[in-house]
């Protein structure tokens, strides 16, 4: 099966940053090819992505070649939805740079940090794992969840791939004890208890929160075991379409105090302090404040601080001409995103 592609500048999406900045924990970058690989809900296949200066290339690996070809018909739609391609990120960067000098300085070297639109169930359990944790360990825990309780898909390039487990499987007896033995610690209890709550809810309850106002959705999430304000905001921002949700942890608290001179008298991140920081960034950056927050959060990572980006000169190991799909074929096959909000500007 050939690589397919769609036009996309790195200033609209930079895969290497977006897929490794702590939004999603299932993507792995192959050291040899540089391509990114993962599984997405709704398809029993492995997604392979790589990027050029002005395009994203993708390929599907599935148990049968015939199924891969059939999946191609809906693959673009899936990627458009997953990467929120109905949002013009370049325009947002311009707005934020005009509104805030610090953002202008930080974003100058870190273009293309785009928010993902992930599956709410996967996002919920992934961020329960994030409590007092780092990206590497969270990724390891999420992988263990999939290997232990997910459905086997296939083996590709020496690695086995699984679906993310469904709540009723995680709600079964013995799950908590098993997860503790696997190194989840106290998070095992929260995963098991939350799974039982979800299993008792009407089908689609979590997904329906996409339609609820931000404050309502946030409050509903706080009723789940192991979900505090920050985790609830991560779920809201990264899977429930709440673009102004601001996840605040001690790292973001430090950024607020250091770069924005927010005078916080409390010595701990209380509810009052949490809301003050979120409200400050919402007032500063507007409707997509959560996206701007993610850029600032990522820019403060040590692994990204040495990155220097020039708009039209970004090194790449892959070239568009290497793809068997010609540009006119790509344009002819682009699928209009039915889920796009009418008020947002399409960028692809």
Q: Which residues are catalytic?
A: 230
Give the whole-angstrom CA distance, residue 178 versus residue 262.
44
Contact, 11 vs 59, CB < 8 A? no
Give the whole-angstrom CA distance, residue 59 versus residue 260.
43
Three-state secondary-structure class, residue 10: coil
Question: What does DSSP say about strands 159-162 and 152-156: parallel, antiparallel, or unpaired?
Answer: antiparallel
Give the whole-angstrom CA distance, residue 233 versus residue 279.
13
Contact, 18 vs 294, CB < 8 A? no
- Joined tokens for residue 23: 């939004």
Which ranges of the chain does DSSP label H, i.e. alpha helix? 15-18, 65-82, 89-99, 101-107, 120-128, 135-149, 167-170, 175-181, 187-200, 205-208, 214-221, 229-239, 250-260, 271-285, 289-299, 327-333
Name the nearest CA neighbour of 84 among 160, 24, 156, 165. 24
Residue 44 exposure: Cα atoms within 13 Å on the Cβ side: 11
- End-to-end CA separation in angstroms for the chain: 24
Residue 41 exposure: Cα atoms within 13 Å on the Cβ side: 14
């Amino acid at each position: 099966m050939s690589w397919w592609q769609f036009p996309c500048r790195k200033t609209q999406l930079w895969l290497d940053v977006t897929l490794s900045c702590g939004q999603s924990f299932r993507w792995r970058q192959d050291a040899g090819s540089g391509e990114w690989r993962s599984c997405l809900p709704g398809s029993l296949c492995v997604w392979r992505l790589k990027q050029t200066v002005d395009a994203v290339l993708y390929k599907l690996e599935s148990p049968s070649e015939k199924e891969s070809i059939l999946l191609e018909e809906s693959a673009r739609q899936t990627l458009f939805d997953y990467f929120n391609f109905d949002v013009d990120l370049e325009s947002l960067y311009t707005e934020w740079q005009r509104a805030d000098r610090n953002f202008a300085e930080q974003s100058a070297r870190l273009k293309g940090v785009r928010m993902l639109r992930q599956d709410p169930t996967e996002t919920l359990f992934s961020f329960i794992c994030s409590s007092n944790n780092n990206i590497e360990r969270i990724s390891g825990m999420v992988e263990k969840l999939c290997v232990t309780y997910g459905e086997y898909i296939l083996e590709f390039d020496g690695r086995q791939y699984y679906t993310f487990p469904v709540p009723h499987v995680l709600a079964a007896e013995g799950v908590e004890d098993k997860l503790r033995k696997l190194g989840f610690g106290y998070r095992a209890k929260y995963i098991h208890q939350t799974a039982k709550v979800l299993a008792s809810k009407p089908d689609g309850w979590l997904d329906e929160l996409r339609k609820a106002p931000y404050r309502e959705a946030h409050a509903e999430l706080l009723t789940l075991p192991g979900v505090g304000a920050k985790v609830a905001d991560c779920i809201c921002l990264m899977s429930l379409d709440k673009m102004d949700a601001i996840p605040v942890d001690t790292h973001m608290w430090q950024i607020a105090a250091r770069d924005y001179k927010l005078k916080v008298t409390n010595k701990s991140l209380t509810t009052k302090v949490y809301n003050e920081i979120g409200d400050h960034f919402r007032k500063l950056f507007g409707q997509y404040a959560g996206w701007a927050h993610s850029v600032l959060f990522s820019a403060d990572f040590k692994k990204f601080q040495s990155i220097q980006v020039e708009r039209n000169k970004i090194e790449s190991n892959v070239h568009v001409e290497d793809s068997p799909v010609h540009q006119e074929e790509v344009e002819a096959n682009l699928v209009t995103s039915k889920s796009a909000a009418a008020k947002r500007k399409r960028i692809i």
